[in-house]
Amino acid sequence: MVTMGILLGIPLFSIGINLFDGVGDMWNHILEYFLLEYISNSVYLLLGTGIICSILGVSTAWIVSKYDFKYRKLISWLLYMPLAIPSYIVAYTYVGLFGNGGSLILVLQQLGFELQKIEFMNTPGLIWVLSISLYPYVYASLRAMFSNYPHALRDAAYLLGANENKYFFKVALPMAYPALIASLFLVFMEVLNDYGAAKYFGINTFTTGIFRTWTALEDLSSAIYLSAILLVLVFALMRLNRWMRSRRSYAFKMKEISDKGDRRIKLEGRRKYVAYFILSIPILFGLVLPLGQLMHWASLNMEALYSSELWEVAFQSVTLASTAAILILLFALVLLYLSRWNYIKSLNFFSRIPAIGYVLPGAIIGIGIIRSSQEIINFFQDQLGLEVGYLFYGSSFILVYAYIFRFMAVAYNPIEASSLKLGKGLSESSYLLGANRWRTMLKIDFPLIKPVILSTFLLVFIDLMKELPLTLILKPYNLNTLALNAYAYADDERLVEAAWPALLLVAMIGLLMIILNRRTKMNSN
């Protein structure tokens, strides 16, 4: 467990160690012209997406959990779906929709609006694109929270004279702060991880800066320094998240029994139309319009659908993502069981090291791995006379390793939670009945956590299919994924050609999200 923890934590340690090598040649140039911009843009993006995601996520979650209206179930499901479209793809479609001669601009012109374009390729535009792609994190978390409130809380508030507004602002919303803070933290990590959308809109952020410093300026040492500054920002956000949640963790003592029966308030009249209007905004701008634009582009390039290139790329994507997902699950299970069986509890700290990967932007992990792999290659060559460079740069080995570090927490946390929920009682009964640890694991634990393992596989698979920055840094020359393909075409302004890989990616993620949703419902039943 200690070895695994340390091995998987190499990218993180590498950044720390290499800081002592000093700054690179371009550092002064970065310091003078870019650093302030990276910091200010990243802070603006965090603040902007934080505010918009909160407004969109909280309002939609509140409406679908507390009110009843026609198509509520369909709408509440559609509100998750913008998560199926990666933000970099939303970014390209917005240019196709709102740019010069954009599809929606043409429609608006025909309706009599004198518009040439709506400018999205700026910081507020990027804030909107990231918010509309990432608000489902807030929505999902808050919806679960609001739906689980005991009705007695609302009844108590009403009997104490509160109206709906007072109940929302004084009781329901403050009680949801821990969930809101936790989901915003996920949003912030995604914002800091974003490369594709920011690069396409030409906004300099830390992540685009790290790429630029490493590729265009060819200064790996300065890229590591930038990564370290970003790392400080990430850890500061982590501390803030923990501190805010620890101050606001409320024990829920009320029995579920008080919640029985559907007591959503039926919306009628003007309030119903206001609710439909609010709910339609994220669905329209986060799902319908981007998907419509992709379909429009795809229809202009139907021959791509029959080309072998598209399907080869899709096959590579699925193979890579499924291989990595299986490995991630295996590592998560091994780490979990090693920490459960280990009697020296202080060593369990090492099992948490890979979990840090999920909060680290891909660019940091990528740079950390590039740096450390060079040293490993040199070590093998100088000390043992072995050429291992091809293993690092000619295969997907290093990329899969990076995926394991980046996405370990996505697999580890739900499996650990499910295992903790089962408790020790069952395992202990099994031991007392004469079964050893392995038999207990295979015959008792695995069958019981199997549904969660399958759901977790889907969750990790979705994340891997969407992944861009890490894949971009660490991919071998002959590897292509749907995400990379869509990004590469769009980056070359070949938006029509980017449509099919993007559409295929969105369709696959969408389908997996539907399956995941059903599985989650089955598991909870």
Partner 1 sequence: MGTDKYILQIEELSKSYDKKIFALKDFSYKLESGKICAVVGESGSGKSTLLKLIAGLERSDQGQINMGDQILCNDQIHLSPQKRSVGLVFQDFALFPHLRVKENIAFGLAPGSHSKIEQMLKAVRLEGYEDRFPSELSGGQEQRVAIARSLVREPDLLLLDEPFSNLDTNLKSELRHEIKRLIKDLGLSMIFITHDIYDAMDIADEIIFLKEGKIVRQSAITDIFKAVKDKYVKENMEELKRSAETILSMIPK
| 394 Cβ contact partners less than 8 Å away, ≥ 6 residues apart | 476, 477
DSSP helix/strand/coil, 494: coil
Residue closer to partner 1 by CB (options 162, 376) is 162
**Mask 80-99, x = binds partner 1 (CB under 8 A)?**
--------------------
Residue closer to partner 1 by CB (options 151, 296) is 151
Asked if 281 interacts with partner 1 (CB under 8 A), we say no
Identify the DSSP state of 264.
P
Size of the site for partner 1 (CB under 8 A): 25
Dist. CA 193–CA 207, nearest whole Å: 7
CB of 155 to partner 1, least distance (A): 5
CB of 60 to partner 1, least distance (A): 22
CB of 464 to partner 1, least distance (A): 38
Say what the alpha-carbon torsion angle 153, 158, 162, 166 is, to the nearest 10 degrees: 40
* Residues 407/463, Cβ–Cβ less than 8 Å: yes
Please identify which residue in the block is written with the tokens 């291992």. Answer: 388
Residue closer to partner 1 by CB (options 180, 210) is 180
Residues 410-469 that bind partner 1 (CB under 8 A): none
Residue closer to partner 1 by CB (options 153, 283) is 153
Residues 202-261 that bind partner 1 (CB under 8 A): 248, 250-255, 258
Dist. CA 286–CA 49, nearest whole Å: 14
Tokens representing residue 363 in the block: 């660019």
**Nearest alpha-carbon partner for 221 in 473, 8, 20, 11:** 20
Tokens representing residue 505 in the block: 């990616």
**Mask 96-135, x = binds partner 1 (CB under 8 A)?**
----------------------------------------
Report how far apart, in Å, the C-alpha atoms of 420 and of each of 435, 458, 501 are. 20, 21, 40
* Beta strands per DSSP E along 388-473: none
Residue closer to partner 1 by CB (options 82, 178) is 178
From the number of C-beta atoms within 10 Å of its C-beta (0-12, 13-18, 19+), residue 29 rates as: middle
Residue closer to partner 1 by CB (options 66, 406) is 66
Residue closer to partner 1 by CB (options 143, 154) is 154
CB of 178 to partner 1, least distance (A): 9
Handedness of CA 510, 123, 481, 320 (dihedral sign): negative
Residues 141-200 that bind partner 1 (CB under 8 A): 150, 152-153, 155-163, 170-171, 174-175, 177
Residue closer to partner 1 by CB (options 67, 177) is 177
CB of 264 to partner 1, least distance (A): 15
Dist. CA 30–CA 122, nearest whole Å: 21
Residue closer to partner 1 by CB (options 159, 384) is 159
CB of 252 to partner 1, least distance (A): 6
Write the DSSP assignment of 313-368 as a string of letters.
Answer: HHHHHHHHHHHHHHHHHHHHHHHHHHHHH-S-GGGGHHHHGGGGGGGS-HHHHHHH
CB of 153 to partner 1, least distance (A): 5
Query: Under the rule (CB under 8 A), what is the footprint of partner 1?
Result: 150, 152-153, 155-163, 170-171, 174-175, 177, 248, 250-255, 258
